[in-house]
Amino acid sequence: MPRPHPFGPESLRSPTGWPKAAVATTILATILLAVYWPILGGLVAQWWDDANYTHGFVVPLFSGFLVWRERARLTATVSRGSLLGLALLIGGIGILILGSIGSENFLMRSSLVIVLAGLVLFHLGTRVLRILFFPLAFLFFMVPLPGVVFYAVTFPLQRFAAEQAAWTLDLLGVPVLLDGNVIHLSQITLGVTEACSGIRSLISLLASAVAWAYLTLPFGLIALAFVLLTLPITIFANAARVVATGLIGQWLGVEYASGFFHEFAGLAVYSVAVAGLGGVYVLARRLVRVTGKPHK
């Protein structure tokens, strides 16, 4: 019989175990804050300043909710620390040091998730880590992508949005000339910039889809397909935004296609993408019923 860990979840049910667990948790949290405080400060500042990552404020709150949601299972689980957690913890610290040496924010910020997973595995064992795996993994959505990856994804999205918008405008009878990511119309010229690539909607919608699938769909191909379909939904919704901007500028004038409309169109695109994802979700639930998989 495995011996219960003195600081494990089951200690919360013991009058003597609770103070020990609280002290251990406080010490670990203090050490983590001391090490990661400058890194977390920069991360929160980027959430605030970079519109592509404002969803970062919600991600840790949602992960915290998921942990709270599993509180009954956690307190009922007998924990037994694993030395594998020490290896994971050392790996996370190594990534932190490597990121610090190379001034790579993505590595330094991501290391926090790995360190947390290592601490859970080392002190509480595989059973608890299995319960907390998704809440911990979901925290990666709060970490902005490395610049090289971000722009490698953004440029094809810009190009595709411009090509699809030009094709659609031509199909609608609007004379159009496509020059790279720039769409020339007789009354307006549209530049499909980084902000118009759809990357902002894609990142936040992907995080939303993963959370949605986890909470409501059984794990498997249906849930995976639901998540992956966020990519074409977002891409085509963004292309529709470029088309709408072009049509308004062509028919009503440049002043109507900029300013308030341009900002409103971003919200409209996200709303359309969410509605499209909602339609896919309805289809996914029907497939779940047909296949007979249990609902969450």
Q: How many angstroms separate the first and last alpha carbons of the chain?
A: 32
Whether the predicted pLDDT of 137 surpasses 80: yes
pLDDT class of 17 with cuts at 50, 70, 90: very low
Are the beta carbons of 105 and 142 closer than 8 angstroms? no
Nearest to 24 by CA among 123, 102, 166, 111: 123
Nearest to 78 by CA among 38, 131, 149, 146: 131
The residue-averaged pLDDT of 3-18 equals: 49
Q: What is the DSSP letter of 195?
A: G
Are the beta carbons of 246 and 261 closer than 8 angstroms? no
Higher per-residue confidence, 97 vs 19? 97
For position 8, what pLDDT does the model report?
A: 52
For position 13, what pLDDT does the model report?
A: 46
Higher per-residue confidence, 105 vs 245? 105
Other Cβ atoms less than 10 A from the Cβ of 280: the count is 16
For position 247, what pLDDT does the model report?
A: 76
The residue-averaged pLDDT of 167-186 equals: 80
* Burial state string for 227-237 with b = 16 or more CB within 10 A and e = fewer than 16: bebbeebbbbb
For position 5, what pLDDT does the model report?
A: 53
pLDDT class of 12 with cuts at 50, 70, 90: very low
- Which residues does 290 contact at the CB level (< 8 Å), separation at least 6? none
Mean confidence (pLDDT) of the chain: 82
Distance between CA atoms of residues 205 and 270, nearest Å: 8
- Tell me the one-letter amino acid at 99: G
Higher per-residue confidence, 55 vs 266? 55
Distance between CA atoms of residues 19 and 279, nearest Å: 49
Q: Give the position of tokens 């059973």.
A: 127
* pLDDT over 90, % of the chain: 32
pLDDT class of 199 with cuts at 50, 70, 90: confident
For position 196, what pLDDT does the model report?
A: 62
The residue-averaged pLDDT of 133-159 equals: 89
For position 206, what pLDDT does the model report?
A: 92
212-256 pLDDT tens trace: 999 998 888 889 999 999 988 888 888 887 787 777 777 666 655
The residue-averaged pLDDT of 81-108 equals: 91
The number of residues in the chain equals: 296
Angle of helix 230-251 relative to helix 221-228, nearest 10 degrees?
A: 20
pLDDT class of 151 with cuts at 50, 70, 90: confident
pTM here is 0.82
Distance between CA atoms of residues 279 and 145, nearest Å: 29
Distance between CA atoms of residues 236 and 242, nearest Å: 10
For position 38, what pLDDT does the model report?
A: 92
The residue-averaged pLDDT of 12-24 equals: 53
